[in-house]
Amino acid sequence: MPSIHSYVDLVKLILSESAKYFALLLLVVLAVRFWRRLPKLSGPARRGNLVLASLVTLLSAGVGYFSICHSMSLMYWHFGMKAFQNSQIDPAFSLFDTSWHYHHNADALGGKGVCLLVAGRADAGMSLLAAAKEMRHGKDSPFENYYEGLYYFYNHDVTNAVPRLEAASAETDYAWEVTKLFAVIQLDRDQPQEAAKLMQPYMEAQISEADHAYIMARLDLANGKRADAQALVDKFFAADMTPFWRTRFERLKSELQTGKT
């Protein structure tokens, strides 16, 4: 289901696009009226009308050109986000790049940066993200903050990860994912009580992902529920996990086998 934030953004987009093309329509109508009255005039009035008709026509053409470029940029950015969400990183980068060429904007540049970051080209990705931030006068989008924070988190740089993830968590689309990561940070610090506080609103949530399963298994072990913890490890541990999660599941599995709490 779309988030409230996404719905608000959609409404803003529809209103802004409608206002833009309504203004363009007014300019076109005005230009047509000036040209239609031109044959009826003579002398200075005709020359003045001709100047106004030409100016309004040029203004209409300029507004029309930039409006179409801006709209095409938004369209390609939208499809770029869809491709990214479907893990189609190369197509997403191409769509963000096309969006950038239609209209130089921070969102398209940041999208390209995130794609490069996810694809393992960290230096190039960080450079584009920094450029996007500069275009916004020092601000990142939640999307950029989240994936930049993920990069630092999975590269064991919690100091840089936390402020970016915290900023991204203000966006409801990322709040749950950030909560889980913060819980993992607390568990890595051997502070299950703090992790439990973070997870308290989600204690009854269905467990369907390995990261969630790891957190709940750790909390179960801390509360003496060894059988519950073992059941989660048996269900969600997989050999093809990323090194980050495989290491933690293997350590947890070892602790369950040795009887450590």
Residue-wise pLDDT for 22-47, tens only, equals 888 998 999 999 899 888 888 888 88
Rg of the chain (C-alpha set): 27
C-alpha torsion 177→99→132→184, nearest 10: 10
pLDDT at site 20: 84
CA 153 to CA 161: how far, in whole Å?
Answer: 5
CA angle 211, 165, 125 (to 5 degrees): 100
Burial of residue 144 (number of CB atoms within 10 Å: 0-12, 13-18, 19+): buried
- 153-198 pLDDT per residue, tens: 999 999 999 999 999 998 888 999 999 999 999 999 999 999 999 9
CA 248 to CA 153: how far, in whole Å?
Answer: 14
Position with higher pLDDT, 150 vs 5:
150
Choice among 17-26, 77-86, 185-194 with the minimum mean pLDDT: 17-26
Burial of residue 1 (number of CB atoms within 10 Å: 0-12, 13-18, 19+): exposed
What distances in angstroms separate CA 63 from CA 54, 105, 221, one per listed residue?
Answer: 14, 18, 64
Q: Specify whether the CB–CB gap between 133 and 109 falls below 8 A.
A: no
> pLDDT tier at 151 (50, 70, 90 boundaries)?
very high
Q: Is the pLDDT of residue 14 over 90?
A: no
Q: Is the pLDDT of residue 1 over 50?
A: no
CA 231 to CA 115: how far, in whole Å?
Answer: 36
Residues sharing a CB contact under 8 Å with residue 109, sequence separation 6 or more, in sequence order: 96, 100, 128, 131, 132, 135
Residue % of the chain over a pLDDT of 70:
94
